[in-house]
Structure 1
Amino acid sequence: MDSSRRSASLAALGRRAIRFAIIVGALLGLCGAPAGCAHGPAERAKSARPCIEDFATVEAHCAGVPVYAFGYTYVHGVSPDFIPDLVWQRGAEGGEKIVPKKSWEIKNNLLGSTPAREPRSLRIDDQPVLCVHLIDGDPETCWCSRAQIEPDVEPVWIRIDLPVEAEVCAVRLIPSRKGMRGFAPIPSEPTDTAGIGQGLPRTLAVKLSRDGRRWETVREIDDLAAGPAMDPIELRFEARRAKQVWIIGEEVPDVLGLGHCFSIAEVEVLSSSGANLALHSRGAGVTVSSTHLGYGMDRFTQDMLWPVQYDLGFKWARVGYDMSALQWAYVEREKGVLAVDPRTDAAITEAVRHGIEVVLVLDKGNWLHAPEPRVPQRNRELMETYYNRAPWPDPAASPAYFAAWLGYVRYMVRHFKDRVRYFEIWNEWDEAGDRVDNYCRLAEPTARAIREEHPQARVVLCSSSGLDMGFCEGAVERLGNLIDVVGFHPYYNTDPQDIRRYPGDIAELKARLATHGFRGELMATEWSWFAPYPPADRDERRFTEMQKAKIAARFMVTNVGLGIPSFWNETFQTHMTSRDVSLLRNTFSADPISPTQPQPIYYVLRTLSTALEDVRPSAAEVHVSPPHDDLESCALERGDGALLVVLWLAGEAVDGSSREHVVDLRVPAARHGAAHAIDTLNGTRHELAADPGTGLVAGIHVRDWPLIVIFGD
């Protein structure tokens, strides 16, 4: 059935109760009454008919449409009206909302994402900078707040609660003398900023209370700074009784490239006798405004947001890259003992069962087997790939290390071969030296091991950072038929004019690979545009959320038109706040969970997943007039024979609908007599007047986001 036929005319539903019942029934994929869909985690595996309420609850209704809660992320059941009341053909008005399909309802499409790592259990949820370290009495464990883009976005605070009211006379802030920086940061990470545990705010206030309601300010400082030796800073005041101590900082510094944070090792609250009362061992408690939980985030956020990929209708997911629970360092935490985390394992099984094709990256080294082996200290150093990466297992330099790597590879392929076909060897090879030669030394025996364990596997070349044709071609020339798929990360925040060259670049890449006999697949395995608020200084180009949605929609459609599976990076990301690599919006921080809400791009990609179900590139003849320098299009054919033409204006994207060009579209092969359009931004279907004899649709309004014209049912 044509996916766009799954629309519900909200305006035609006269009574609220009827309207609610119809939309909910459609949104739940005909699962029956909502009560029948409220499965707990143990019941999900038994559910023969999945529905979105297996993963989300209906917490509100707006305009008769359910609002689904994935934890504390609230998703509208249909696309919101971002730019309402648009006309898409002269003489035609109005439209119907499309009810988006879920992953398990879609036969296939080429849309996917790199989910922000995977759900995991507590045993591998490493969190070295939790606030409990402020009162553990250890001057080299640290706390760090969640990063903000600029120093003054919001205040950051620490609250100490004493078990019993006491007379206090000072607060002592203790920075970390050495700073937590990770054991082996990658070259691109900054070293000229404060380390974790050394990030003091420039302005700071200390407040005391005896009842948690009335607060007295006892110290204010406008020029707080740590000395070169990172000595403790004692803030004295007249002795008085207190039960609660509230430390509020503003204008926080850049910490380790994470962004702007308040980060120290210890807080001491001194009694009149000089004793530290702010110790966990003395019954003190601590709460904070936020905590940096790492780019891999925390297990609670992962559990809540992993299922949004099903709501998005994505059919592809790429897992296993940086900070993943599937990396070697997490699969082998004890030397010689390999085990996939059970919660992660269950999440992969769940995704596959719900119709998602998984690309599994086999990635990074392991300190336990490194030439200079060590056991990472999970509470005293950063555990993330960017800051604590073991050397790569070079078979020439470290045969034993490489043998252990192959052991990991074989274990992972055996473990997942009943669920996973695509195995990628490493993510973004950026090791020093001859990149192609070094990579191929690792990749050739790795690919052979994958083939031996799983002859039907599709081996994916390490995705290059950018569309690095030299690396792709050099590796394919060396590895030959061991490689089935070439991946690449084409764009991050690129000028939208640049992506107009992309089809030509893909044609060139295919031609270069073909000279070495490659006839396999291509995958755009990571790409993103950013729209942080406030804008980040590190970004040369700045985009609004609406611009981000429009540009991303164009690029996703461009890949579909080329027959390339395409992965947005990342589905959600609550802690890489300065880059906005997310479909969800980061706002003010909270602890322990910082809620995040859908940006326009979320709904646009969800609409595309449904509208572009079961399509492939088409060579159908398409005529569009009059011409426009920025007018672009692609033709697609659906499995049922329907023809689709996608039109948009390339180049600059604007927040509104001011960029517009009216065209006549003629597709000689489309003589069905019926045509309709999908507004991918607002998620609406619009009937079009078409000439069945010529395949002409006159007076179409083309704007700076994709409009999908569909000929046939």
Structure 2
Amino acid sequence: MLHALSRTRLLVLAGWLSGLATAHAEPASEPPPFILGISTHLMNVERPVEAPLKLAAEAGFSAVKDDVFWSTAEPKRNELRIIPQWRRYLEQANSLQLERLAILGYSTHFHDNAKPRTPEVTGPFLNYVDYVSRQLGNRVSYYEIWNEWDLQGPRDRQLAQDYAALVRKTVPVLRANTQAAPGNKALILAGAVTPEGMDHGFADQLIDSDTLALVDGLSIHPYVHCAGNNGRTPEAWGRWVSDYEENIRNKAGRAIPIYLTEVGWPSHKGACGVSEMTQALYMARIWFLARSIPNVKGMWWYDLYNDGPDRFDQEHNFGILNEDLSPKPAWTMMRAIAPVVRDFAYNAEASVVSGPTYQLYFSNGQQRVLVAWTVGKPLELGLISHAPVQGPVRLLDTRRAANGEVASEQSWQCAGEHCTASVRLDDFPKIIRLTP
């Protein structure tokens, strides 16, 4: 949990710095890197993949996500295939060292587009899963079983039970094919739970039936861009997802790896939309908040590029790139913050929150940074450090993300080993360097 901030908003860094150095002296093992993912719409359309995937990698993403549609793999009954576009996509992503998440799901017209809830549909679905996972194996890093199954009835207990049953039948097929394939073993995710499903306990059936024990993580889609006024902020998002993780952990009686496989904020004109700059701002705060939530292993932003040119259509405007692949402010923002989000470890004990003010601490070896912002009225944040930090305060102001880290006008004032500085905070996070 994040601790309360002192009234003076002065944070004594000395104890944290010395404690952190001790804690990192002999690490038992390095935690797996946090996954910076991005959704793409490239596998099922005839579109070049090299340029958009390169832009994803340049922005700092470490993983991509797309669909291996059942209807694409089986356009005619009992005629299964892997289309060339799938192979091009996976090969290009791999060459850029991007992990690959593939969604297994959606039905076919010759099954009346029905979910696999009956033997007549489940059998062919498992044949499709078997074929695809034998062909692609560990070229896929993560297999996600279906997408937003709960959408048609987040309170429907039978729907949840049927999904749990499908997961129990699908996992052995995936395990057999990926364990037999060369390379790192693909992980299996289940859930893809919508916001309504999160609020109404859709994942409870996965826990009650012990189905979550069969997979490598629970995936959720925590959107809040159309939530009520009290929930439509990155900070409300952080509290909601944190509470959800705690509820899942308590119900399961153990830590459950959680993967945020779809999160986004559209920049359209109209209800639920924000400006492109606000989209970038909210994205930055959400990424940092995601790092502060226990057992969250990664997040996939939705999505890479706009799906169309209509600025009044929500679905056309989730991208961090325009439809012609020109960068939006969110792409520039992501490139600026990615090194900290991806490569630095979050320090919960040092991090503090008081009302609208957030101070989140991260480290990478001997490098330490403070990510800080306040929502609403700007304020002066006073820092006290006994570390030998001298000269100008170096920081990255995400309001001007393209500038990268710069020497600010503020300087550390030191008397012996006692140093102080002051930084003005606003709603754009500042990444403040705490080490030389």
Change in Cα spacing, 1:633 to 1:416, as seen in structure 2 (3 Å) is farther
Report the Cα offset of residue 464 of structure 1. 1.2
The residue number in structure 2 matching 1:636 is 362
Give a deviation string over 1:61-101, Cα, whole Å, max 9, x none. Answer: xxxxxxxxxxxxxxxxxxxxxxxxxxxxxxxxxxxxxxxxx
The residue number in structure 1 matching 2:42 is 118
Residues 1:523 and 2:259 aligned together: yes
* Aligned counterparts of 1:584 and 1:695: Cα–Cα separation in 2: 45
The residue number in structure 1 matching 2:172 is 448
* Aligned counterparts of 1:318 and 1:361: Cα–Cα separation in 2: 8
AA partner of residue 136 (structure 2): F
* Aligned counterparts of 1:351 and 1:501: Cα–Cα separation in 2: 34
The residue number in structure 1 matching 2:126 is 406
From 276, 288, 292, the equivalent of 1:557 is 288
* Aligned counterparts of 2:422 and 2:304: Cα–Cα separation in 1: 37
Change in Cα spacing, 1:671 to 1:503, as seen in structure 2 (3 Å) is farther
* Aligned counterparts of 2:194 and 2:346: Cα–Cα separation in 1: 26
From 368, 377, 395, the equivalent of 1:677 is 395
Residues 1:573 and 2:306 aligned together: yes
CA contact (8 A) 1:673 1:695 kept: no
CA contact (8 A) 1:561 1:616 kept: no
Report the Cα offset of residue 424 of structure 1. 0.8
Report the Cα offset of residue 665 of structure 1. 2.5
* Aligned counterparts of 2:400 and 2:81: Cα–Cα separation in 1: 45
Change in Cα spacing, 1:305 to 1:511, as seen in structure 2 (3 Å) is closer
CA contact (8 A) 1:645 1:710 kept: yes
* Aligned counterparts of 1:474 and 1:643: Cα–Cα separation in 2: 41
Question: Superposed, which structure 2 residues align to 1:57-456 within 5 Å?
Answer: 109-115=34-40, 117-119=41-43, 125=45, 299-300=46-47, 304-320=51-67, 326-368=68-110, 370=111, 390-394=113-117, 397=118, 399-429=119-149, 430-431=151-152, 433=156, 434-455=158-179, 456=185
Residues 1:660 and 2:378 aligned together: yes
From 645, 654, 665, the equivalent of 2:370 is 645
Residues 1:493 and 2:225 aligned together: yes
* Aligned counterparts of 1:111 and 1:468: Cα–Cα separation in 2: 22
Report the Cα offset of residue 362 of structure 1. 0.7
Counterpart of 2:348 in 1: which secondary structure? coil
* Aligned counterparts of 2:309 and 2:260: Cα–Cα separation in 1: 21
Residues 1:473 and 2:208 aligned together: no
CA RMSD, Structure 1 to Structure 2 (Å): 2.9
* Aligned counterparts of 1:440 and 1:575: Cα–Cα separation in 2: 36
* Aligned counterparts of 1:527 and 1:686: Cα–Cα separation in 2: 30
From 523, 526, 545, the equivalent of 2:276 is 545
* Aligned counterparts of 1:506 and 1:518: Cα–Cα separation in 2: 17
The residue number in structure 2 matching 1:616 is 345
Give a deviation string over 1:658-696, Cα, whole Å, max 9, x none. Answer: x5322113466x556586211223232123634677675
Change in Cα spacing, 1:621 to 1:119, as seen in structure 2 (3 Å) is closer
CA contact (8 A) 1:527 1:568 kept: yes
CA contact (8 A) 1:523 1:566 kept: yes
Change in Cα spacing, 1:676 to 1:516, as seen in structure 2 (3 Å) is same
CA contact (8 A) 2:397 2:405 kept: yes
Counterpart of 1:584 in 2: which secondary structure? coil
Change in Cα spacing, 1:565 to 1:622, as seen in structure 2 (3 Å) is closer
CA contact (8 A) 1:553 1:604 kept: yes
Aligned residues: 377
* Aligned counterparts of 1:694 and 1:568: Cα–Cα separation in 2: 42
Change in Cα spacing, 1:440 to 1:664, as seen in structure 2 (3 Å) is same
AA partner of residue 328 (structure 2): Q
CA contact (8 A) 1:485 1:520 kept: yes
Residues 1:604 and 2:350 aligned together: no
The residue number in structure 2 matching 1:583 is 320
Change in Cα spacing, 1:480 to 1:672, as seen in structure 2 (3 Å) is same
* Aligned counterparts of 1:354 and 1:566: Cα–Cα separation in 2: 19
The residue number in structure 2 matching 1:506 is 241
AA partner of residue 347 (structure 2): S
CA contact (8 A) 1:691 1:697 kept: yes
Counterpart of 2:381 in 1: which secondary structure? strand
Report the Cα offset of residue 446 of structure 1. 0.9
* Aligned counterparts of 1:546 and 1:315: Cα–Cα separation in 2: 23
Counterpart of 1:597 in 2: which secondary structure? coil
Gaps of 5+ in 1: 1-106, 126-298, 321-325, 373-389, 587-594, 652-658
Which has the larger displacement, 679-688 or 338-347? 679-688
CA contact (8 A) 1:487 1:522 kept: yes
Give a deviation string over 1:26-68, Cα, whole Å, max 9, x none. Answer: xxxxxxxxxxxxxxxxxxxxxxxxxxxxxxxxxxxxxxxxxxx
CA contact (8 A) 2:234 2:282 kept: no
Counterpart of 2:88 in 1: which secondary structure? helix
The residue number in structure 2 matching 1:711 is 434
Change in Cα spacing, 1:544 to 1:558, as seen in structure 2 (3 Å) is same
Residues 1:702 and 2:422 aligned together: no
Question: Superposed, which structure 2 residues align to 1:680-695 within 5 Å?
Answer: 680-683=398-401, 684-687=404-407, 689-690=411-412
AA partner of residue 416 (structure 1): L
Counterpart of 2:292 in 1: which secondary structure? helix
Q: Calculate the TM-score normalised by the size of structure 2.
A: 0.77
Report the Cα offset of residue 344 of structure 1. 2.0
Counterpart of 2:300 in 1: which secondary structure? strand
Change in Cα spacing, 1:338 to 1:667, as seen in structure 2 (3 Å) is farther
Gaps of 5+ in 2: 1-31, 180-184
Counterpart of 1:451 in 2: which secondary structure? helix
| Structure having the larger proportion of residues in helix | 2
The residue number in structure 1 matching 2:216 is 484
